[in-house]
Amino acid sequence: MSEPSAVPIDPKLVAALRGAKFVAALTGAGISAESGIATFRDAQTGLWARFDPRELATPSAFARNPQRVWDWYAWRRERVASAEPNPGHRALAALERRFPEFVLITQNVDGLHQRAGSRNMVELHGNIARVKCSREGTVVARWDACGEGVPRCPRCGAYLRPDVVWFEEMLPEDALATAEDAARRCEVLLVVGTSAEVYPAAALPESARACGAIVVEVNPEATPLSERAHHVLRGPAGVVLPALVSALD
């Protein structure tokens, strides 16, 4: 892996960050790629290779075959549990400690930001470690993981499901409101590891830009956001973000 200092950071961006009081970050699956967790645009691996996430992460897929959806998330929970935060996650946690106000908005459900030390967070799409009743929506702390079949709600008997946002579902209102407020108020928005194609998350960088924020894209590939960003740091988050932290030291 190349040294962080090998990543050129525009001095104007460094100056803007040095003077900023409120910085926000929006992350996607790309920041967990270097932790070994496949992004949505990567092909699925192993047993689940033949499935497209869009065929599994939907209410209709769960209604049609709750066991298959439950098993897919159990497999993903195991992969996440055995993954470790990478230098990109840790760099964002370091940045949070550097600014008077810092909000991390993530589309990821893997919990790696929290494990890296990020605290002031918005989970737009939920968290795979949490499980809720598919009827009442209440989070269930513990469930019978060794029993056969899909566990059921201890109160109403409906199937339990992962506490994540599925395709066709609305995002948690409070999370979205907090994210939109952060996008409008921040001075710099770091957009890391997202294809910037899935709304409403993908609208946040435009909101930030419209309110005068400096928008920075961190991604090894171009996205629809690239030509709208004020700075594009073309590289993997695990190299670029530590370089950004080093440039501020």
Q: Which residues have a catalytic role annotated?
A: 125
Asked if 128 and 80 count as a contact pair (C-beta separation under 8 A), the reply is yes
Nearest to 172 by CA among 124, 128, 114: 124
How many residues of this chain interact with ligand OAD, rule: CB under 6 A?
26
Distances (CA, A) of 83 to 34, 57, 74, 116, 183: 10, 21, 14, 12, 29
Asked if 39 interacts with ligand OAD (CB under 6 A), we say yes
Q: Which of 40, 55, 129, 230 binds ligand OAD (CB under 6 A)?
A: 40
- Considering beta carbons, is residue 27 or 188 the nearer one to ligand OAD? 27
- Considering beta carbons, is residue 114 or 194 the nearer one to ligand OAD? 194
- Considering beta carbons, is residue 31 or 160 the nearer one to ligand OAD? 31
- Considering beta carbons, is residue 23 or 241 the nearer one to ligand OAD? 241
Backbone φ and ψ of 195, nearest 5°: -75, -5
Site for ligand OAD in 61-100 (CB under 6 A): none
Q: Which residue is nearest to ligand OAD (CB)?
A: 30
Site for ligand OAD in 185-244 (CB under 6 A): 193-195, 198, 218-221, 223, 236-238
Asked if 128 interacts with ligand OAD (CB under 6 A), we say no
Burial degree of 117 (CB within 10 A; 0-12, 13-18, 19+):
middle
CB of 248 to ligand OAD, least distance (A): 19
Cis peptide upstream of residue 11 (ω within 30 degrees of 0):
no
Asked if 134 interacts with ligand OAD (CB under 6 A), we say no
Q: Which of 25, 57, 92, 208 binds ligand OAD (CB under 6 A)?
A: 57
- Considering beta carbons, is residue 125 or 152 the nearer one to ligand OAD? 125
Give the residues lining the site for ligand OAD (CB under 6 A): 28-31, 33-34, 39-41, 57, 107, 125, 165, 167, 193-195, 198, 218-221, 223, 236-238
